[in-house]
Amino acid sequence: MSQRMQQGQPMIILGDDSQRTQGKDAQSMNITAGKAVAESVRTTLGPKGMDKMLVDSSGGVVVTNDGVTILKEMDIDHPAANMIVEVSETQEDEVGDGTTTAVVIAGELLDQAEELIEQDVHATTIAQGFRQAAEKAKEVLEDNAIDVSADDRETLIKIASTAMTGKGAESAKDLLAELVVDAVLAVTDDDGSIDTENVSIEKVVGGSIDNSELVEGAIIDKERVDENMPYMVEDANVALFDGALEVRETEIDAEVNVTDPDQLQQFLDQEEKQLKEMVDQLVDVGADVVFVGDGIDDMAQHYLAKEGILAVRRAKSSDLKRLARATGGRVVGSLDDIEESDLGFAGSVGQKDIGGDERIFVEDVEDAKSVTLILRGGTDHVVDELERAIEDSLGVVKTTLNDGKVLPGGGAPETELSLQLREFADSVGGREQLAVEAFAEALDVIPRTLAENAGLDPIDSLVDLRARHDGGEFAAGLDAYTGEVIDMENEGVVEPLRVKTQAIESATEAAVMILRIDDVIAAGDLSGGQTGDDDDGDEMPPGGGMGGMGGMGGMGGAM
Ligand SMILES: Nc1ncnc2c1ncn2[C@@H]1O[C@H](COP(=O)(O)OP(=O)(O)OP(=O)(O)O)[C@@H](O)[C@H]1O
Ligand SMILES: [Mg+2]
């Protein structure tokens, strides 16, 4: 590209392969890309949302309703489109649920902004208006949020259940919601901190979703090391040793210099004695079960079996940590300083068959701080999608316990915000007022889409919703099953406050960032090599650098 200097001499500042799009062309290219991303997940929103089947280049198939999963699998490479994908990723990290909502709002904000740009409202003005509106929206939501305490198990179950609505877990959501709440409550530390990583998920193909269960303890993907060890130990003291029950070979290599058979025997005896001593150390502290991070020598296995100790070798260090949290034990690095107090306890430790695999179950633990959810389903795809729904659900329960605030669902908060923001717009002067109004309009996309996806008339639904909110019913939302407007709080459709505040915040930030770009300078080919046939000139047609989106558009059409 060239820039004309005063003397009329062109100055080349960009390399031959670079592409540059400026001004309104850049804006409209980016807006189109962002909107296309949102459009691609819109049909999955809500209880009646559809699923997507994503096939990767090697033929792997994912069937999902989860916004963030769809966008990650889609392999989008347009930079502005990726900013919208990031919105869903932030949402996933911060709350775990609401990834579709966040992206759909971002897309609608871009759509509204596009109209304002056409009316010559400056992007900076739109950005300011959007930010003010988002700020106000957060206030309104916070003011109207419902308090939930940690011992309100019933509400927590409703929250867990709402997050699963419309997903693979739906058919058994009553059972699963209870399991999720119990799991999160179990792994909550005394100081209130929660790491849902401590809820392990074990997927089993076979059996029905209804047979899913929660194990208060850990399931380790190992078998006992020796067949002469017990299958099952009850009331087990569990030792966790991150080391090897072996005499290190190097030591022998260094010392043995055999000149006659007696000498060899002596060294072997010596080795055996050391192994026996190690096992004795475990026996002395009263271990019934031992998980060893490294190997266990055959001779040590023999002694352990003779003592009736169930031993597992090569346990991963993450498994050892999990076991420590599950049993209340401590992982020791050396057997020399193991003490009775280092041992954990489990009501039962045993090898069991699960979905055709043998695993070690460490269960019946009182106050286990690490638990395992066994999810069952008919096929691999079913259990994979079940896992994603459960993860959303774990996220919302955790968020609710952290924040203690929830909102009614079914489009209730968005309808309320839309009304209140229109009022608020009057108090905002200048052209920003238009942006605030546009923001209010954009939020309607959620109830509208919920209605559309449920096969309802979106206009009728919006009119009903607005009338009820005008009448002061904050919790009035759309029942996607009957099409009626009902009190969502009474219905038990509730979501954490943060699902909505985070969605609005990230969507606004991403939209604003995209709007403020008026110049796209790409080193190399923005279109990812797909413009090979029309690559005859330096000039790129407006909106042409969107090979990534081209592929996606095709995909959107196919679905
Ligand atoms: N029973 C219900 N009736 C009406 N609306 C519901 C009901 N259950 C959930 N919803 C609404 O559905 C929307 C959530 O839909 P969905 O779970 O498909 O998308 P998401 O949470 O935004 O994204 P994802 O779950 O993919 O991360 C929310 O607006 C929620 O209030
Ligand atoms: Mg959801």
Q: Which of 85, 159, 165 to mutate to test the pocket of ligand 1 (most atoms within 8 A of CB)?
A: 165
User: Average model confidence (pLDDT) for the chain?
Assistant: 90
Q: What is the pLDDT of residue 248?
A: 73
Q: What is the pLDDT of residue 481?
A: 94
Ligand 1 atom 6 nearest Cα: 410
- Same domain, yes or no: 340 and 273: yes
Atom number in ligand 1 closest to CA 88: 27
Ligand 1 atom 15 nearest Cα: 46
Range of the domain at 348: 218-367
Spatial CA neighbour of 278 closest among 252, 323, 236, 246: 246
- Same domain, yes or no: 227 and 363: yes
Token couple for 68? 């963030």
CA of 396 to the centre of ligand 2 (A): 9
- Please state at what angle helix 445-453 crosses helix 432-443, rounded to 10 degrees: 20
Highest mean pLDDT of the ranges 134-138, 353-357, 548-552: 134-138
CA of 479 to the centre of ligand 1 (A): 11
pLDDT single digits (tens) 423-456 = 999 999 899 999 999 999 999 999 999 999 999 9
Atom number in ligand 1 closest to CA 104: 22
Token couple for 113? 């902004």
Domain containing 527 — which CATH number? Answer: 1.10.560.10
Kindly state whether residue 473 falls inside one of the protein's structural domains.
Answer: yes
Kindly state whether residue 198 falls inside one of the protein's structural domains.
Answer: no
* CA atoms of 133 and 121, how far apart (whole Å): 16
Domain containing 358 — which CATH number? Answer: 3.50.7.10
Q: Which of 101, 482, 499 to mutate to test the pocket of ligand 1 (most atoms within 8 A of CB)?
A: 101
In this structure, the chain runs to a length of 559
Q: What is the pLDDT of residue 257?
A: 66
Q: What is the pLDDT of residue 8?
A: 66
Listed residues: CB within 5 A of ion ligand 2: 97
pLDDT single digits (tens) 347-398 = 999 999 998 899 999 999 988 999 999 999 999 999 999 999 999 999 999 9
What is the SS3 assignment for 161? helix
pLDDT single digits (tens) 461-492 = 999 999 999 999 999 999 999 999 999 999 99
pTM: 0.88
- Same domain, yes or no: 331 and 249: yes
Determine how many CB atoms are found less than 10 A away from the CB of residue 459. 10
- Same domain, yes or no: 44 and 120: yes
Catalytic, out of 32, 90, 100, 162: 100
What is the SS3 assignment for 232? strand
Q: Choose one of 367, 399, 419: the last residue of a domain.
A: 367
Catalytic, out of 66, 182, 288, 444: 66
* CA atoms of 473 and 490, how far apart (whole Å): 12
Q: Is the pLDDT of residue 10 over 90?
A: no
Lining ligand 1 with CB less than 6 A are: 44-47, 49, 65-67, 97-101, 162, 165-166, 392, 409-411, 446, 450, 478-480, 493, 495
CA of 559 to the centre of ligand 2 (A): 20
Kindly state whether residue 185 falls inside one of the protein's structural domains.
Answer: no
302 alpha-carbon distance from chain centroid: 44
CB 344 within 8 A of CB 329: yes
Spatial CA neighbour of 31 closest among 112, 132, 130, 99: 112
* CA atoms of 321 and 195, how far apart (whole Å): 13
Q: Choose one of 336, 367, 398: the last residue of a domain.
A: 367
- Same domain, yes or no: 541 and 446: yes
Mean pLDDT, residues 282-300 taken together: 96
CA of 411 to the centre of ligand 2 (A): 13
CA of 387 to the centre of ligand 2 (A): 13
Q: How many domains does the chain have?
A: 2
Residue 86, judged by CB atoms within 10 A of its CB (0-12, 13-18, 19+), counts as middle
Q: What is the pLDDT of residue 523?
A: 83
Q: What is the pLDDT of residue 337?
A: 87
- Same domain, yes or no: 358 and 222: yes
Spatial CA neighbour of 102 closest among 511, 509, 515, 506: 506
Active site includes 66? yes
Ligand 1 atom 31 nearest Cα: 409
Spatial CA neighbour of 181 closest among 397, 401, 400, 494: 397
CA of 234 to the centre of ligand 2 (A): 41
* CA atoms of 483 and 94, how far apart (whole Å): 31
Kindly state whether residue 205 falls inside one of the protein's structural domains.
Answer: no
* CA atoms of 346 and 288, how far apart (whole Å): 10
Q: Beta partners for 447?
A: none
Dmax (CA) for the chain in angstroms is 101
> Token match 């108090």: residue?
427
Kindly state whether residue 68 falls inside one of the protein's structural domains.
Answer: yes
Atom number in ligand 1 closest to CA 503: 22
Catalytic, out of 32, 43, 90, 99: 99
Kindly state whether residue 96 falls inside one of the protein's structural domains.
Answer: yes
- Same domain, yes or no: 252 and 342: yes
Q: Is the pLDDT of residue 4 over 70?
A: no
Atom number in ligand 1 closest to CA 481: 3
Q: What is the pLDDT of residue 542?
A: 43
What is the SS3 assignment for 314? coil
CA of 98 to the centre of ligand 2 (A): 5
Active site includes 392? yes
CB 157 within 8 A of CB 148: no
- Same domain, yes or no: 124 and 70: yes
Q: Which of 45, 445, 499 to mutate to test the pocket of ligand 1 (most atoms within 8 A of CB)?
A: 45
Instruction: Band the pLDDT of 558: cuts 50, 70, 90.
Output: very low
- Phi and psi angles of residue 452, each rounded to the nearest 5 degrees, phi first: -60, -45
* CA atoms of 222 and 318, how far apart (whole Å): 13
- Same domain, yes or no: 310 and 451: no
Instruction: Band the pLDDT of 9: cuts 50, 70, 90.
Output: confident
CB 549 within 8 A of CB 81: yes
pLDDT single digits (tens) 217-238 = 999 999 999 999 999 999 999 9
Spatial CA neighbour of 226 closest among 208, 198, 250, 245: 245
pLDDT single digits (tens) 389-425 = 999 999 999 999 999 999 999 999 999 999 999 999 9
Q: What is the pLDDT of residue 6?
A: 55
Q: Is the pLDDT of residue 2 over 90?
A: no
Kindly state whether residue 159 falls inside one of the protein's structural domains.
Answer: no
**Radius of gyration, CA atoms only, the chain:** 30
- Same domain, yes or no: 414 and 479: yes
Instruction: Band the pLDDT of 538: cuts 50, 70, 90.
Output: very low
Kindly state whether residue 142 falls inside one of the protein's structural domains.
Answer: yes
Q: Is the pLDDT of residue 536 over 80?
A: no
The DSSP code sequence of 464-480 is HHHHHHHTT-TTEEE-T
pLDDT single digits (tens) 56-70 = 889 999 999 999 999
Q: What is the pLDDT of residue 256?
A: 58
Q: What is the 3-state secondary structure (H, E, C) of 96-117?
A: CCCHHHHHHHHHHHHHHHHHHH
Q: Choose one of 367, 383, 418: the last residue of a domain.
A: 367
- Same domain, yes or no: 261 and 363: yes
Give percent helix, percent strand, percent coil of the chain, each to the nearest 5.
Answer: 50, 15, 30
CB 117 within 8 A of CB 136: no
Active site includes 99? yes
Instruction: Band the pLDDT of 527: cuts 50, 70, 90.
Output: low
Q: What is the pLDDT of residue 254?
A: 56
Spatial CA neighbour of 223 closest among 317, 291, 127, 269: 291
Instruction: Band the pLDDT of 262: cuts 50, 70, 90.
Output: confident
- Same domain, yes or no: 425 and 524: yes
Q: Which of 88, 162, 174, 506 to mutate to test the pocket of ligand 1 (most atoms within 8 A of CB)?
A: 162
Q: What is the pLDDT of residue 480?
A: 94
Determine how many CB atoms are found less than 10 A away from the CB of residue 539. 10
